[in-house]
A and B are shown apart, each in its own frame.
Chain A
Amino acid sequence: MPTTAPNAAHALADVTASDGTLRRFLHGLPGVDAVGLEARAASLGTRSIKTTAKAYAIDLAISMVDLTTLEGADTPGKVRALGAKAVHPDPTDRTTPSTAAVCVYPDMVATAKAAVAGSSVKVASVATAFPAGRVPLTVKLADVREAVAAGADEIDMVIDRGAFLAGHFMKVYDEIVAVREACGTEARLKVIFETGELSTYDNIRRASWLGMLAGADFIKTSTGKVAVNATPANTLLMLEAVRDFRAQTGIQVGVKPAGGIRTSKDAIKFLVLVNETVGEDWLDNHWFRFGASSLLNDLLMQRQKLATGRYSGPDYVTVD
């Protein structure tokens, strides 16, 4: 749980006084050396995770999945099936933990909410005109309010990458603050940067700080809709950012890599990054999530293999 240090947070509030102060602050953050960052992420990827550690990691990863369907073709039936799977991912083994959340478009929130009723599974909704975000702020806010009114526990918003790349940091900041307000006290806010479009690691660190300054509860790599989504390196960088932000303000922010994480092996590598960068304070689904849809089945198959000693195959897990 976050420990608040209001004085430190207040000191940082000055940096959002104007476009100029914000730009100076974001450009004053320590640089990122791409070669070194990627080397560190790769070296943590060589950690060998065996036996009890692996069983623990798989269950932890399952409990961190935001089981996601974000297709134009989504139907109530599809969302109900997803909700049922989120609550009991493996019908043959009731010891399997539930996933953290189901993640759907705003019009499906009520359906999803009903599907997971009575369980620990949260309903997350991508609002603010996901995935491009290129609509007026009034539309974005309406999108958010509808999702929250329908019962969403979490809102995944996309930032205006165009404004960010044009250097209009204050515009991005103001939008996040407005969305944060629209979420009210009911919903936690995840801010999606679309790291693949921000292109440089320096930009990703600046966006992370910008999001946290504006009140994000989570910072999230990407929408899963572009070519480059979550990578070990950009996730490591964002973990460093939340670590540094907590050191300065006392406020803890969650991290969610999304898109492209498909195998248990990949997921475990991300858990190693969390473990060795920010440690156990972030090692639960309140502070770390995987935005993934196909990952869950691989985790379930690996879990079955650990339990039975045999690899079962895709027909032994559900397709939803």
Chain B
Amino acid sequence: MASAFEYAPAPESRSIVDIAPSYGLFIDGEFTEAADGKVFKTVSPATEEVLSEVAQAGEADVDRAVAAARKAFEKWSALPGSERAKYLFRIARIIQERSRELAVLETLDNGKPIKETRDADLPLVAAHFFYYAGWADKLEHAGFGANPRPLGVAGQVIPWNFPLLMLAWKIAPALATGNTVVLKPAETTPLTALFFADVCRQAGLPKGVVNILPGYGDTGAALVAHPDVNKVAFTGSTAVGKEIARTVAGSRKKLTLELGGKGANIVFDDAPIDQAVEGIVNGIFFNQGQVCCAGSRLLVQESIQDELLDSLKRRLSTLRLGDPLDKNTDIGAINSEEQLARITRLVEQGEAEGAERWSPACEIPSAGYWFAPTLFTNVTQAHTVARDEIFGPVLSVLTFRTPDEAVAKANNTPYGLSAGIWTEKGSRILAVANKLRAGVVWSNTFNKFDPTSPFGGYKESGFGREGGRHGLEAYLDV
């Protein structure tokens, strides 16, 4: 927005975090090169600058890491819960103490705004470790029987949209329940996971309890298929999730999948309009829309469509896109060239199919991967942009006339991860929420997370729950 009041740039200093020119794999408490010496580069999506060179784990490295985790499991699982809790509390406190470093590193590697890493990601990461630390000595009271046992070695594969938060969601409950882990971060965002390896050392965590193996899909596939892995946890795309389900089928491995989504955000005509607009913005433009539970389908009651869209467009015009390290930035960079290409392709398809595309006037930086916040109106259920997960800052707007129609449209998707309801009428919230087939239903808010609250999907959005008491079950023999 052109204004007399232009904010001066307020960049967070990147000098508060040291990025080494190269990183190894973290196996059995030590950083080590890959057996075949392979490396790959990780870049800053906002500038395309190479941040570091990272060892790429191959099958031999997966073998080593799983063996280290297996060995560590004997002692780790035998520790009293209160002892494991001490380590987890220590990790949580170190994360809090080093949260500025971690926030800057995450922003550099991922491209998301520092505002989000600082105010959303890092506090939640610490909260997850604190929360599961609290459970470690109370597992017999979790409702899974008198003496629930850990499963063994957990092979965990996490995505690039919330690198450190997904790591926390995976590692905290696994360690609290007495499992040891081998974790593969995404190839575009390995740095905070490697930083976390250092946090584990600082906390004095026994060797081999946490192992970090950066790499591409083949590394993840080797980990998932490894015969000595007892539990597989994956967050990522539905396509890869299906492949993993096939790999694991017939083995005795336990599996949880947290996959894609196409969340419906339903706005009724009696909604608090200004707050609904904020919720819609937060639902789809948080983390550039690269959120599996993003509210990417807006279902508006026809009677308030014009009013709501006017408000929404006006609000989008105030979003600030640019340098993710600037504390005033609302929209950062898309994580990778590949993802940018996917978003671009789907948006072009949306236009070709006749949906009406709108973006606010905003300057796009010359280097890096960027995509302006985008609205599609005149969208119907038959449009690709209403069905496929775009995983970018693209909102499809549909309308409805009655609550039944809203529910029918919201549920008419292969996914079922999240949904939102906006109305001032309490009875309608309850009635509609009960009919929505989604793992999370937010009312008069969106994208709120808390370690005490379970998260997971229906249908092609996966199965199993992370977070809360339910999140323990996936790591226990019950």
Contacts and interface: CB of A to CB of B under 8 A. Distances in A.
Interface of A: 30-33, 35-37, 39-40, 46-54, 56-57, 60, 240, 247, 271, 275-276, 279-280, 283
A283 B279 contact: no
7 smallest CB-CB distances across A and B, nearest first, come from A36-B275, A48-B10, A48-B327, A31-B424, A33-B275, A33-B272, A53-B8
Interface string B266-301: 000011111100110000000000000000000000
Contacts of B327: 46-48
B128 interface: no
Contacts of A39: 278
Given A46-B115, A46-B119, A30 B271 contact: yes
A315 to B, nearest CB: 30
Interface string B1-27: 111111111100000000000000000
Nearest to A243: B314
A35 B328 contact: no
B8 A50 contact: yes
A32 B4 contact: no
B318 interface: yes
A246 B1 CA distance: 19
Contact of A280 (B5, B10, B119, B310): B5
B121 to A, nearest CB: 15
Contacts of B310: 247
Given A33-B444, A35-B444, A36-B279, A47 B7 contact: yes
24 contacts: A30-B272, A30-B274, A32-B274, A33-B275, A33-B424, A35-B445, A36-B445, A46-B119, A47-B327, A48-B7, A48-B327, A49-B10, A50-B10, A52-B8, A53-B5, A56-B4, A56-B5, A57-B5, A240-B274, A247-B310, A275-B3, A275-B5, A279-B3, A283-B5
B463 to A, nearest CB: 31
B434 to A, nearest CB: 21
Interface string B417-437: 000000010000000000000
Nearest to A28: B270
A240 B424 CA distance: 18
Contact of B275 (A32, A52, A54, A60): A32
A195 to B, nearest CB: 17
A40 B275 contact: yes
Contact of B272 (A36, A47, A50, A56): A36
A276 B278 CA distance: 13
B287 to A, nearest CB: 15
Interface string B93-123: 0000000000000000000000100010000
A45 to B, nearest CB: 11
Nearest to A53: B8
Contacts, number: 76
B275 A37 contact: yes
B10 A36 contact: no
Contact of A36 (B5, B119, B270, B444): B444
Contacts of A40: 274-275, 278
Contacts of A53: 5-8
A286 B207 CA distance: 67
Contacts of B272: 30-33, 36
Contacts of A36: 272, 274-275, 278-279, 444-445
Interface of B: 1-10, 115, 119, 270-275, 278-279, 310, 318, 327-328, 424, 444-445
Contacts of A247: 310
Interface SS majority for chain B: loop
Nearest to A36: B275
A57 B4 CA distance: 10
Contacts of A37: 274-275
Interface SS majority for chain A: helix
Nearest to A236: B274
Contacts of B10: 48-50
A122 B322 CA distance: 41
B271 A60 contact: no
B7 A49 contact: yes
Nearest to B444: A33
A37 B327 CA distance: 21
A53 B328 CA distance: 12
Nearest to B6: A53
B100 to A, nearest CB: 14
B277 to A, nearest CB: 9
Contacts of A48: 7, 10, 327-328
A35 B282 CA distance: 14
A50 B7 CA distance: 7
B118 to A, nearest CB: 9
B11 to A, nearest CB: 9
Nearest to A38: B275
B279 A271 contact: no
B269 to A, nearest CB: 9
A276 B317 CA distance: 10
A1 to B, nearest CB: 15
A85 B5 CA distance: 26
Nearest to A52: B8
A60 B328 contact: no
Nearest to B269: A30
B270 to A, nearest CB: 7
A271 B424 CA distance: 30
A276 B318 contact: yes
Given A33-B272, A47-B7, A53-B6, 16 more contacts: A30-B271, A32-B275, A33-B275, A35-B445, A36-B274, A40-B278, A48-B327, A51-B8, A52-B8, A53-B5, A56-B4, A247-B310, A271-B5, A279-B3, A283-B3, A283-B5
Contacts of B6: 53
A91 B138 CA distance: 67
Nearest to A30: B273
A226 B274 CA distance: 28
A28 B6 CA distance: 36
A54 B6 CA distance: 10
B1 to A, nearest CB: 6
Nearest to A49: B7
A36 B275 CA distance: 5
Nearest to A237: B274
B428 to A, nearest CB: 13
A48 B272 CA distance: 28
A280 to B, nearest CB: 5
A246 B445 CA distance: 27
Contact of B4 (A51, A240, A276, A280): A280
A35 B7 CA distance: 27
Contacts of A52: 8
A240 B272 CA distance: 12
A27 to B, nearest CB: 11
A300 B119 CA distance: 31
Contacts of B318: 276, 279
A36 B9 CA distance: 27
A247 B306 CA distance: 13
B402 to A, nearest CB: 20
A279 B8 contact: no
